[in-house]
Amino acid sequence: MVAVTDATVRQTAAQRSTPQKGRSPRRRMLVLNLVSVAIGILLWWALSASGLRLPSPAEVAVRGWELLVDGTLLSDTAASLTRVLIGFALGTLVAIPVGFLMGWYAWARGLIEPWVQFFRTIPPLAMIPLALVLLGIGEEPKIFVIFLAAFFACVISTFQGVVNMDRTLINAARVLGTKDAGIFLRVVVPASVPFILVGMRVGLGAAWATLVAAELIAAQAGLGYRMQNAQLYYDLPTIFVGLITIGILGLLMDRVLLFAEHKLTGWQERR
């Protein structure tokens, strides 16, 4: 009875110590992130104090608070975030099935890949004038160019995930009598998820970069629009507020995708 009790105590202690070991690297990484941010702010402060034409962190913070209080920052952020989310979501939703189609069927690859590769070499920013002519000056052209940026980043990654997967897994599933639909759903899709998420993260960065350029033309609200107006009056603090807001939003969205990647690809070995 005592032996059982001792074993139970040891097992309970081991279970309690395991999460702590798992949390330790995360805490260390969080500390390193905070140290990195602090060093970056100190370096920024030093550069602004050295005579370079840069607003200090305090000036940017004051300007950001002013824009936040009068509602300008919130309205611009909402407008930009809405455009990015819609364009990114549409681009991803279209890219994933097209990438699977290209990777799974040779005839689809032959028909679709040349066009994907052709248009992928054209920067989405170069499509802005055409989008404005065809779609007008409303929200459609902005969302369209963001859609293109997200689509091409994700479709190539999905396609590579299907093409580069281990064919031994497919052959083993066929030997076990699995049909094509089962192989696709149980083997191909899970193996391609890491590639899809990497493509989504790349596409997210491209979407934000494209958004700012799109808002510089024919926009009435948005972070890019606000930065363009600030540039006309040499309002550097407002420009920095826009840059920092975009960076924070992009970082948060990337962390969401990174969290999804850890949850969906927990079977992968990581360093």
Interval 40-96: pLDDT, tens: 888 888 888 887 788 888 888 999 898 899 888 999 899 889 989 999 999 999 998
pTM assigned to the model:
0.77
Closest CA to 156 of 206, 207, 115, 95: 95
What do you get for the CA distance between the two ends of the chain, in Å?
A: 42
Is residue 18's pLDDT more than 60? Answer: no
Give the whole-angstrom CA distance, residue 76 versus residue 271.
39
Question: Of the ranges 15-29, 153-167, 180-194, which one carries the lowest mean pLDDT score?
Answer: 15-29
Question: Span 122-148, mean pLDDT?
Answer: 82
Top CATH class of 55-264 equals mainly alpha
Q: What percentage of the chain exceeds 70 in pLDDT?
A: 83
| 193 closest CA partner among 253, 147, 262 | 262
Higher pLDDT, 252 or 164: 252
Who wins on pLDDT, 245 or 105? 245
In this predicted structure, the answer to whether residue 16 has a pLDDT above a threshold of 80 is no
Task: Give the chain's mean pLDDT.
Answer: 80
Q: Please determine, for residue 24, whether its predicted confidence score (pLDDT) is greater than 70.
A: yes
Q: Both tokens of residue 22?
A: 């798992």
Model pLDDT, residue 7: 47
Looking at residue 89, its pLDDT comes to 93
**pLDDT of the residue at 103:** 81
pLDDT the model gives residue 94: 93
Is residue 135 very low, low, confident or very high in pLDDT (cuts 50, 70, 90)?
confident
Closest listed residue to residue 209, CA positions, set 243, 252, 260: 243
The whole-angstrom separation of Cα 150 and Cα 159 is 14
Which 3-state string (H, E, C) describes 99-116? HHHHHHCHHHHHHHHHHH
Region 192-213: mean pLDDT is: 85
> Residue 22: is its pLDDT beyond 60?
no
The angle that helices 236-264 and 223-232 make with each other, rounded to 10 degrees, is 160
Residue 5 in this model has a pLDDT that exceeds 70: no
